[in-house]
Amino acid sequence: MSESLLGMPPARVLADLGEGCVILTVDASMYPQHAVYAAAYCFIARCYVWLDRAEPEAFRVVLTAKQPTDAEGLRALAGEFSNELLASAWRREITRLNRGLIESVTMQAFGGAMGPPSLDDLEAFDFSDEPFDDPLGIAQSWEDKYRKPKPGAETGAETGAAVAAETDPQGGAAT
């Protein structure tokens, strides 16, 4: 049976003590889907995690503790999830804004640590294969990935916005 937890909004957080789980409803207009994934992923060592859509505009997150727990333990899980959700959403935005700085420093750090490939490395490299697996199409151009006309062909601002909206409900950096 579901019940509310001390200090948690009952419309958003409910607990089922018998099942040892907490059920959170997340407003999809406030939090991007990626942030929900990122926050939920942090709990997989301690909980079984279930995600679905409670309503068209809300995600439902069910965290079931792997070890038996009480109301206080469930309250801690719900609170920690909420904090991680906010951190994930905000981190994503910060990363987008600081992308240039983060990328240049991180890439230099890897370049510096790896150094140029040795002859052994080159010998081990399989040139005959596809360059590398790219299931998410990260290395593809935006136009190829979404089958859009190349620049120069007729393209409009609303097309980009539509694609962004399609791939990211918040309209953030889509590719």
Partner 1 sequence: MSLEVLQSGAALDTGGYPAFFRFREIGERVVVTSIEGEWIVLTREEFRGFLRGEVDRDGALHQRLVERNLVRESFDARRAAEAYRRRKRFVHYGPNLHLMVVTLRCNETCVYCHASRANLDALHTDMTIETAERAVDLILRTTSPHVTIEFQGGEPLVNFPVVQHIVEYATQRNRGLGKQLEFTMVSNLSLMDETKLAWLLAHRVQLCTSIDGPKSLHDKQRKLPTLSSYDAAEPWIARINAAYREAGLDPTLYHVEALLTTTKETLERWREVVDTYVALGCRALFLRPVDPFGFAEKTRKIVEYPREDYLAYYRRAVDYIIELNHQGVEILERYAAIFLTKILTGDDPNFLDIRSPGGAGIGQLAYNYDGTIYSSDEGRMLGAMGDPTFAIGDVRTSRYRDIVSHPTVRAMAIASNLEGQPDCVDCPYVPYCGTQPEHNHKTLGTMMGRMRESSMCAVHKGIQDFLFEKLATADAATLEILHRWTTIRAREHFVQPVAEGG
- Interface positions with partner 1 (CB under 8 A): 42-43, 45-46, 80, 83-84, 87, 90-91, 94-95, 98, 101-102, 105-106, 108-110, 112-115, 117, 120-121, 124
Is 42 or 163 the residue whose CB approaches partner 1 more closely? 42
Is 112 or 152 the residue whose CB approaches partner 1 more closely? 112
Answer for the pair 85, 25: CB distance below 8 angstroms, yes or no: no
Q: How far is the CB of 61 from partner 1 (least distance, A)?
A: 15
Count other Cβ atoms within 10 Å, centred on residue 126. 6
> Which tokens hold the place of 38?
């990122």
Is 106 or 159 the residue whose CB approaches partner 1 more closely? 106
Q: Where are the alpha helices (DSSP H) in the chain?
A: 33-41, 71-97, 99-114, 119-124, 142-145, 157-167
What gap in Å lies between CA 28 and CA 26, rounded to an integer?
A: 6
Q: How far is the CB of 81 from partner 1 (least distance, A)?
A: 10
> Which tokens hold the place of 162?
């539509």
For the four alpha carbons of 74, 76, 82 and 88, in that order, the dihedral sign comes to negative
Is 98 or 155 the residue whose CB approaches partner 1 more closely? 98
Count other Cβ atoms within 10 Å, centred on residue 127. 6
Is 83 or 159 the residue whose CB approaches partner 1 more closely? 83
Pairing of strands 2-3, 58-65: unpaired
Q: How far is the CB of 79 from partner 1 (least distance, A)?
A: 10
Q: How far is the CB of 67 from partner 1 (least distance, A)?
A: 12
Q: How far is the CB of 85 from partner 1 (least distance, A)?
A: 11
